[in-house]
Structure 1
């Protein structure tokens, strides 16, 4: 799991609330964490591997380079995978070598490796899950900017600088304050620990508060773009708009399920920490709820990796075809411009693949002042969605173009 309490646990003179939850049934907790993280890791990797079925359906069209948001979703999955790997390693070591955990609690011990492993694994997990939070926020910003301003491909390098820079800076600052003056002799009290908790939960709260705002404003702009694309709002446009809304809802639902328990648990532990005696009988209910949410966190935190892929792409199946990876790279390299214009102002390739929001349509009638086609903005939002609906959108748009041509010829 990803909790600042596990980093606080690395201090021998940890607070009573942290010691209470971390030392309660540690074997069971580590077993649940490694099981959840291991399953999430396996299924996430299977989800993001290329599949045969997807390429057979869309094989008649060349695959363009992925949009910025497509890359962002892939990077989020990579961050989640690396975070889950850290959980698997740490929980496995704590299960197989219980002496490591016991030696952390020994003050003035000559063996520093248990503390080094504790701090290193905790920082690894915090860093990559924090980066996942920042990338999730950048995804919401990116889709809003693309749809609202029709800006084409966003600057992915800028997102890298923001996410990794902030993740590294906040993680280093929080850990430096927590382990001052040294790991074996941390300062006592809440004052030195609060900056660490703030740097851990700040990106999480940012996603919970800001992402719904960006998603709501994006879906509002999507409706206008869909209506303006053909001048009508057909069943296909309505279906695409609904899929986009459902996709945003699933992303936020997964995030809330995986991380709201952390906020609840932290509030309960802070409440216990300020009490003179956390073992008082009047605090029994608070202690029980804190333990329940603690174990729930150990299960759902690592499951974010797999649940995110379901929210992003749906279930992609198990029909993995690694031999197509080279084919995909060649297709991305060979396709740098859009398909030829097709009369009605709508690109069938964009309608069928829904992968690339930045194609500039030369010779199209229905373009904006900078040559950007409105349908390209929509494609970024529905990538990874239902393949069947994607193909239906292509067929319907192609049929409208054919009907328009037949009317002109007659």
Structure 2
């Protein structure tokens, strides 16, 4: 799981509340973490593998390069997978090498490897889950900018600089403040712990507070764009708007379910830490609630990777096609060859699959592109619908130049 208590656990003089949750049924807790992280790791990779029935296309033509929002969702899944891998390794070492874990509790221990492993594994987990939070925030910003400004394929390099830069900076700064001037001096006052907890939970709170607002404003703009495409709001537009809204809702629902227990648990542990005796009888309910949320975190934090893929793409199934790229290339070659044999007609020009941000603008009677709020609508709508089971198809009539765009469900 991802909690700043993991770094605090590496301190020989850790606080009483951290000692309380870490030492309660450690073998059972480690087994839960391994099981949850392993399931999430396996199913997340399975979700991301190409499927035989995972592409809806008109004819057999290769799909264009995905827009930035698809790449962001892919990177979020990669960060979650790497975070789960860190949980699996750390929990396995805790269960398989108990002597290594016991060495962390010894002050002035000459063997540095227990502390190196503890700090290294905790930073690995914290870094990639923190990066996942920043990428989730960037996804909300990206879809909002695409709809409001018709940004098209945004600058993915800028997102990389922001997310990885902030994730590394905050992680290193928080750990340095916690262990300053040495690892044996941490938790000798709140001035060590508070900066570390702030840098850990800042991106989490940012997503919890800002993303719902950005998604709500994006949905409102999407409705205006859909109505402005042809001046009417048909059943297809209404269905697409509803599914985009549901997609945002599922993303935030998964995030709240998986990470809200961290906020609750941390609040309870901070309250216990401020008490003179955390084992007092009047604090029994708070201790029990802290333990319950602690074990819930051990289950839900690693499962966020798999649940995110369900929110992004739905269940893609087990029908993995490892030879998909080869089959697509062969299909393209065969289509081109057959086109040359049939009276010189090229199906690539006659009927084209337009996917994601490559949708042509619908045209009005004067031949001008229809825009919503003065902005091209197709880029915005197609970017939001990508990865959600939507494919936008375009049918061209080479004779008179007329074209129409309609969604393929």
TM-score bin, normalised by smaller chain: 0.7 to 0.9
> Do 1:17 and 1:273's aligned partners in 2 also have CA atoms closer than 8 Å?
yes
Q: Does 1:381 align with 2:384?
A: yes
Counterpart in the other structure of 2:240: 240
Counterpart in the other structure of 2:29: 29
**Please, which runs of 5 or more residues in structure 2 have no aligned partner?**
333-347, 404-409
**1:149-164 paired onto structure 2 within 5 Å:** 149-164=149-164
> Do 1:11 and 1:105's aligned partners in 2 also have CA atoms closer than 8 Å?
yes
| C-alpha displacement of 1:211 | 0.4
Shift in alpha-carbon separation, 1:68–1:100, aligned structure 2, 3 A? same
Q: Does 1:84 align with 2:84?
A: yes
Shift in alpha-carbon separation, 1:312–1:302, aligned structure 2, 3 A? same
**Please, which runs of 5 or more residues in structure 1 have no aligned partner?**
333-338, 343-347
Q: Does 1:292 align with 2:292?
A: yes
| C-alpha displacement of 1:56 | 6.4
- Which sits farther off after the overlay, 180-189 or 218-227? 180-189
| C-alpha displacement of 1:260 | 0.2
Shift in alpha-carbon separation, 1:53–1:266, aligned structure 2, 3 A? same
Provide Cα deviations, 1:186-242, integer angstroms capped at 9, x if missing partner.
Answer: 251222100000000000000001000110000000011111112211101000000
- Which sits farther off after the overlay, 54-63 or 119-128? 54-63
Counterpart in the other structure of 1:349: 353
Name the Cα RMSD after superposition.
2.8
Shift in alpha-carbon separation, 1:330–1:168, aligned structure 2, 3 A? farther
Provide Cα deviations, 1:143-196, integer angstroms capped at 9, x if missing partner.
Answer: 000011112110000000000000000000000000111123325122210000
Question: Matches of 1:169 and 1:330 in 2, distance apart?
Answer: 46
> Do 1:357 and 1:376's aligned partners in 2 also have CA atoms closer than 8 Å?
yes
Structure 1 residue matching 2:319: 3-state secondary structure: coil
Counterpart in the other structure of 1:50: 50
> Do 2:229 and 2:362's aligned partners in 1 also have CA atoms closer than 8 Å?
no
Structure 1 residue matching 2:189: 3-state secondary structure: coil
Structure 2 residue matching 1:349: 3-state secondary structure: strand
Question: Matches of 2:245 and 2:280 in 1, distance apart?
Answer: 48
Shift in alpha-carbon separation, 1:152–1:104, aligned structure 2, 3 A? same
Question: Matches of 2:380 and 2:330 in 1, distance apart?
Answer: 25
> Do 1:262 and 1:297's aligned partners in 2 also have CA atoms closer than 8 Å?
yes
> Do 1:229 and 1:366's aligned partners in 2 also have CA atoms closer than 8 Å?
no
Question: Matches of 2:238 and 2:267 in 1, distance apart?
Answer: 42
Question: Matches of 2:362 and 2:396 in 1, distance apart?
Answer: 21
Question: Matches of 1:329 and 1:295 in 2, distance apart?
Answer: 48
> Do 1:84 and 1:302's aligned partners in 2 also have CA atoms closer than 8 Å?
yes
| C-alpha displacement of 1:358 | 5.4
Q: TM-score with structure 1 length normalisation?
A: 0.87
Counterpart in the other structure of 2:97: 97
Question: Matches of 1:188 and 1:405 in 2, distance apart?
Answer: 74
Counterpart in the other structure of 2:148: 148
Count of residues in Structure 1 that have an aligned counterpart in Structure 2: 383
Which residue of the other structure, out of 366, 369, 393, is the alignment partner of 2:369? 366
Shift in alpha-carbon separation, 1:401–1:8, aligned structure 2, 3 A? farther
| C-alpha displacement of 1:68 | 0.3
Q: Does 1:250 align with 2:247?
A: no
Question: Matches of 2:67 and 2:117 in 1, distance apart?
Answer: 39
Question: Matches of 1:157 and 1:127 in 2, distance apart?
Answer: 19
Q: TM-score with structure 2 length normalisation?
A: 0.87
**1:194-273 paired onto structure 2 within 5 Å:** 194-273=194-273
Structure 2 residue matching 1:193: 3-state secondary structure: helix
Counterpart in the other structure of 2:344: none
Shift in alpha-carbon separation, 1:34–1:329, aligned structure 2, 3 A? farther
| C-alpha displacement of 1:55 | 3.4
Question: Matches of 1:307 and 1:143 in 2, distance apart?
Answer: 21
